[in-house]
Amino acid sequence: MTDRVDVLVVGGGPAGLATSQQLSQHRVPHRVLERGDDVGYTWANLYDSLTLHTGKHMSGLPGMPLPRNAPLFVPREEFLHYLRRYARAFDLPVDTGRHVERMTRTDGTWTVSTSRGVLTARGVVVATGIVANPKTPHFPGQDRFAGRIAHSVAYRRPDGYAGRRVLVVGVGNSGAEIASELARAGGKVTIAVRSGANVVPLTLLGLPIQYVAHWVRKLPRRVQERAIALVQLLTRLRRGRPVLPRPAHSPLDEIPIIGFHLVDAIAQGLIDVRVGVAELTAEGARFTDGTAGRFDEIILATGFGAALGSLGGLVQVDAKGFARRRDRVVSVDQPGLYVVGHNYDATGGLYNISRDARLAARLIAGELKPR
């Protein structure tokens, strides 16, 4: 039999839970579909040492701030417990063990096929985030490499890496944190940096850089650029010349590396820096500058894409791979389709989730007028 509901929310992480809480506030009948055995499945399976880069005052979900006694930057395990308390506190209608396989739309009705049956709805909110869709490039010669290759999403802890020659490909925040953790745990780490990286402090004058970015982004672009230039100048005066090449783009256009854990490890000689990977060899990798290295392990910190696979070709994506939308959350391709958790900038993913969950729920309540 097919279950019918007014609105389905796909994903039981922060975006799905925040949207559910807001839909409940608007008295919109709905159900949340979570692929794991509990809410926050993705957070339960990220690396142990992960800590939010965003301050707790701008990282809580609607209706329930993070606890006052929580650290300013909340560790992964503590945030996971918060998500589970959040779902219980608001008695959110979450169906666990519901992996969404396919979504279609016919005559104004969405049909959602899951691992536990089929549901139909008048509206769908995609809150699947990005971690379920890791980007895994294939390098020339990869089949020759005798070591182990894994995406950063599979990394948990540094146990077993001591003495191992590890190449980390990519220099986003995950790559930076994993590389520095492995190096300090005794791994012989090299990081491949293709196009450079912007690095900003975790805090500025005692405030999380996210809080500063929130206010700076309200200013004209030229003033924002001057503020960034000032931060870079102060950083250089305090810490010396950058140890990573600067990219062509501004920190305003791509999320920078937040914190100095990686650059400190490089400056201390714990991590070797190379340019992009040209090919893999039986013993390691050859880089685009012609140099080569021998490695036992390769970790692909090559990022993630929006998890939109269940929509097939129903939506078009923008240059960054996110569903095209208007008003931040409304699909431009499909009526009755909303997206929460796909706006990322320096103000923080969780802050944007709270903002977008409120917006989506208000639009759904007004536009779908659930019965």
Candidate from 33-42, 98-107, 114-123, 212-221 with smallest mean pLDDT: 212-221
pLDDT band at 311 (very low <50, low <70, confident <90, very high): very high
For residue 336, the model assigns a pLDDT of 95
Choice between 59 and 233, residue whose per-residue pLDDT is larger: 59
Task: Domain ranges for the chain, please list them.
Answer: 3-133+304-367, 142-300
- pLDDT tens-digit series, residues 242-293: 899 888 888 888 889 999 999 999 999 999 999 999 999 999 999 999 999 9
pLDDT band at 143 (very low <50, low <70, confident <90, very high): very high
On the 0-12 / 13-18 / 19+ scale of CB atoms within 10 A, 52 is buried
Partners of 123 in the β-ladder: 7
Say which CATH topology domain 142-300 has.
FAD/NAD(P)-binding domain (3.50.50)
Name residue, tokens 């993630």.
Answer: 304
Q: Does residue 337 surpass a pLDDT of 90?
A: yes
Is the CATH number of domain 3-133+304-367 3.50.50.60?
yes
pLDDT band at 30 (very low <50, low <70, confident <90, very high): very high
Span 11-39, mean pLDDT? 97
Q: At what angle do helices 349-367 and 14-25 cross, to 10 degrees?
A: 40
For residue 1, the model assigns a pLDDT of 55
Span 14-37, mean pLDDT? 97
Candidate from 48-52, 119-123, 164-168, 193-197 with smallest mean pLDDT: 193-197
Span 106-125, mean pLDDT? 95
Angstrom distance (rounded) from CA 119 to CA 121: 7
For residue 180, the model assigns a pLDDT of 98
Span 56-60, mean pLDDT? 97
Span 97-111, mean pLDDT? 95
For residue 250, the model assigns a pLDDT of 85
Q: Does residue 112 surpass a pLDDT of 90?
A: yes
Span 324-344, mean pLDDT? 95
Q: Does residue 369 surpass a pLDDT of 70?
A: no
For residue 195, the model assigns a pLDDT of 86
pLDDT band at 352 (very low <50, low <70, confident <90, very high): very high
Comparing 3-133+304-367 with 142-300, is the CATH topology the same?
yes
What residue type is 48 in one-letter code? D
For residue 72, the model assigns a pLDDT of 97
Candidate from 80-89, 99-108, 232-241 with smallest mean pLDDT: 232-241
* Long-range contacts, 240-248 (Cβ 8 Å, 24+): 240/267, 242/199, 243/267, 243/273, 244/171, 244/193, 244/196, 244/197, 244/199, 244/273, 245/193, 245/195, 245/196, 245/197, 246/196, 246/197, 246/198, 247/195, 247/196, 247/197, 247/198, 248/195, 248/196
- pLDDT tens-digit series, residues 199-221: 999 998 889 999 998 898 889 99
For residue 289, the model assigns a pLDDT of 95
**Contact, 186 vs 162, CB < 8 A?**
yes
